[in-house]
Structure 1
Amino acid sequence: MAEGLTSTSSGLHAPLPRPYGRVYRSRGRTVIELQGEVDIASAKPIGAHLDVVTAVRGHHVVIDLTHVAFFDCSGLALLCRARRRTAENGGRMWVVCDSPGILRVFRAGAVLDVFRTLPTLDDALAAEDW
Structure 2
Amino acid sequence: MKRAPLLSLLLALGVSHADARVRLGDTLPTHPWTSAGREVVVVYSHDCGDLGDLWSAVLASGLPVRAVNAENITSPAPGGLKAWSGPDATAFARALKVGAYPTVLLVQGERILNAWEGTFTGDLGLMD
TM-score, with normalisation over the residues of structure 2?
0.36
**Which structure: greater helix fraction?**
1
Name which structure has the greater RCO, CA cutoff 8 Å, separation 6+: 2
Q: Which has the higher strand share?
A: 1
Structure 1 or 2, whichever has the larger Rg, is: 2
